Amino acid sequence: MRYQSLVRQNGNIGTVSTLNLKRRLHRQCQGRHR
C-alpha cells in the first residue's frame, strides 16, 4: 500500500516538474523571440 502511494506521488511530482520545465522553456522562447 505505502509503496504504491509513493510511486503515485513520484509520478505526480514528475509530471508537475515536466510541466513546469515546459512552461519555463516556453517563456524563454517568447522572451528571445521578442
* pTM greater than 0.75: no
Q: How many residues does the chain have?
A: 34
Residue 16 pLDDT: 78
Mean pLDDT for 26-32 is 78
Mean pLDDT for 2-16 is 72
Joined together, the cell numbers standing for residue 23 give 512552461
Joined together, the cell numbers standing for residue 16 give 508537475
Residue 12 pLDDT: 72
Residues 4 and 13: their CA atoms lie apart, in Å, by: 14
Mean pLDDT for 3-29 is 78
Domain boundaries in the chain? 1-34
| Residue found by looking up cell 522562447 in the block | 29
